[in-house]
Amino acid sequence: MSSTPPEDPQDLSRRGFLQASAAAVGGASALAAALSPLRELDPDDLPSIESFFQKHYREMTAEEREAALERIRESVAKRWEVEAEVSDPSPRDGVEFVYALNVSRCIGCRKCVHACVEENNQSREPELQYIRVLEMPRGTLDVEKSDHHYEREEVPDRGHFYLPVQCHQCADPPCVKVCPVEATWQEPDGITVIDYDWCIGCRYCEAACPYWARRFNYSKPGIDREEVNPDMAYLSNRPRPVGVVEKCTFCLHRTREGRMPACLEACPVGARKFGNVLDPQSEVSWILRTKRVFVLKEDVGTLPRFFYYFDERYPRGGAAPFEEKTGRDAPAGEERR
């Protein structure tokens, strides 16, 4: 051994050894105690062997997918005692989904926001929503001037218009580009989806999205039993685990079966339009051909599939000159009678 004692301690006496052992045991117990919060882990939340080794969605065989769906059914039954119908609908050939929203009609009632939460099994505690309705002052499209937290007795407010924003299902999605593990991708029908069992939770996609459409589960999503929507699909509204990103999928469990998205059905004024842009007779095709259409933040170049349009007439509730005579605010007809 080296002759310079400080560099190479070999002089351990019995007492020194005991003391060193005490320090080592103390250190080990401090380490173990530091990890003690892990006791709180719910065994049900820990990944089973099968789910730990579950493949990426796009690499699974048909049987493996079915097994994955069955695991979801079991976990839903175990957590909420709800019998869920978990499906995995495929994109249809010749279908590319597009959303159009009539800003002349939207009144900012937020029914879409909450219908979406109920349909898509979003967390209630903490609250998580895919749709954000912006109250915009007239004369601008600068979202920085918007108010997300408006509270009014009645909507629409005369001085504002309303701009609901959700995932725009971009044709050139930056969120997909940045994901380091390919946990999110664009489907042939244009919907960008997430494999919640593959996401590692780095939130790079959340930073990349110019529309602030992605949400992260900062804690385990809390949903009560009676709030669970049992109509589920693997890529859309099945329950999400903690630590993964989620977002609007145009309700693909509904729309791939031909149904309408939940936000559209809840809209009381028919401002929301949805359909197949490859079908020239679809409502959205007509809108794109004939209406005055714009997309939000066109300059970021992500080619959204979510379009805003407006009617040629003055929007209702607006300060149009003839509104004063014949609008609902001044029922002049009564006086003439």
Partner 1 sequence: MRLLLAGLWFALAAWFLLGSSAGREDVLGELARAPKINPLELSTEPLRFPLTDPPHLTLGGVEQRCSDCHDLFSSREPTPTTLLQHRGIVLDHGLNDRCYNCHSNPERTSLVLRDGSEVPFGESTRLCAQCHGTLFRDWERGMHGKTLGSWDPASPDFVRLQCVSCHDPHAPAFESFTPLPGPTPRHPRPQGGRPR
Partner 2 sequence: MREYLRFLSRCFRVSFVGDWRYQAWMAGLTTVALVGLNAYAKQLVWGLGATGMTDEVSWGLYIGNFTFLVGMAAAAVMLVIPVYVYKNRELSDLVIFGELLAVAAIFMCLGFVTVDLGRPDRFLHLFQRFNFPLSMLAWDVLALNGYLLLNLHICGYLIYCAYRGRKPSKAFYVPFVFVAIVWAISIHTVTAFLYVGLGGRPFWNSAIIAPRFLASAFAAGPAFLIVCLWILDRLTNYEVPRAAITTLRRIVTVALLINLFLLACEVFVEFYTGSSHGVSARYLFFGLHGHSAMVPWIWTAIALNATALLILMTPVGRHEFGLNAACLMMIVGIWIEKGMGLIVPAFIPTPLGDIVEYTPTTNEILVCLGIWSAGLLLFTVLVRVTIPVLAGRLTADRSPAPRHPSPRRLAAGEEPESRLQPRARMSRT
Per CB under 8 A, which of residues 183..212 are in contact with partner 2?
Answer: 183, 198-204, 206-212
Among the listed residues 66, 70, 311, 324, the single contact to partner 1 using CB under 8 A: 311
Q: Report which DSSP code applies to 216.
A: E
Q: Is residue 124 part of the contact set for partner 1 (CB under 8 A)?
A: yes
Alpha-carbon distance of 315 to 325, in angstroms, equals 15
> Which among 192, 213, 189 has a CA at the least distance from the CA of 277?
189
Q: Which of residues 238-257 bind partner 1 (CB under 8 A)?
A: 255
Cα–chain center distance at 77: 24
Residue 99 pairs with which residues in a beta bridge? 274, 306
> Which among 23, 206, 15 has a CA at the least distance from the CA of 194?
206
Other Cβ atoms closer than 10 A to 91: 16
Give the one entry of partner 2, partner 1, none that residue 89 binds, where binding means its C-beta sits below a cut-off of 5 to 8 angstroms depending on kind.
Answer: none
Q: Is residue 113 part of the contact set for partner 2 (CB under 8 A)?
A: no
CB of 258 to partner 2, least distance (A): 31
Among the listed residues 282, 305, 306, 307, the single contact to partner 1 using CB under 8 A: 282
CB of 38 to partner 1, least distance (A): 9
Among the listed residues 194, 302, 306, 317, the single contact to partner 2 using CB under 8 A: 302
Number of residues that bind partner 2 (CB under 8 A): 74
Q: Which of residues 103-122 bind partner 1 (CB under 8 A)?
A: 107-111, 113-115, 117-118
Among the listed residues 55, 132, 203, 297, the single contact to partner 1 using CB under 8 A: 132
Alpha-carbon distance of 271 to 255, in angstroms, equals 18
Among the listed residues 30, 46, 49, 62, the single contact to partner 1 using CB under 8 A: 30
Q: What is the largest CA-CA distance in the chain?
A: 116
8 A C-beta contact, residue 161 and residue 136: yes
8 A C-beta contact, residue 249 and residue 257: no
Q: Which residues does 142 contact at the CB level (< 8 Å), separation at least 6?
A: none
The CA-atom distances, in angstroms, between 197 and each of 41, 55, 201, 319 are 19, 9, 10, 51
Q: Which of residues 194-233 bind partner 1 (CB under 8 A)?
A: 218-219, 222
Tokens describing residue 131 = 């749709």
Among the listed residues 89, 201, 318, 327, the single contact to partner 1 using CB under 8 A: 327
Closest CB to partner 1 among residues 235, 287: 287
Q: Which of residues 71-90 bind partner 2 (CB under 8 A)?
A: none
CB of 184 to partner 1, least distance (A): 23
Closest CB to partner 1 among residues 82, 278: 278
Q: Report which DSSP code applies to 59.
A: G
8 A C-beta contact, residue 222 and residue 125: yes
Give the one entry of partner 1, partner 2, none that residue 114 binds, where binding means its C-beta sits below a cut-off of 5 to 8 angstroms depending on kind.
Answer: partner 1
Alpha-carbon distance of 161 to 317, in angstroms, equals 10
Q: Is residue 216 part of the contact set for partner 2 (CB under 8 A)?
A: yes
Among the listed residues 13, 15, 36, 325, the single contact to partner 2 using CB under 8 A: 36
CB of 21 to partner 2, least distance (A): 13
Phi, psi of 209 (to 5 degrees): -75, 120
Q: Is residue 108 part of the contact set for partner 2 (CB under 8 A)?
A: no
Among the listed residues 105, 214, 254, 256, the single contact to partner 2 using CB under 8 A: 214
Among the listed residues 84, 116, 179, 194, the single contact to partner 2 using CB under 8 A: 179
Other Cβ atoms closer than 10 A to 110: 17
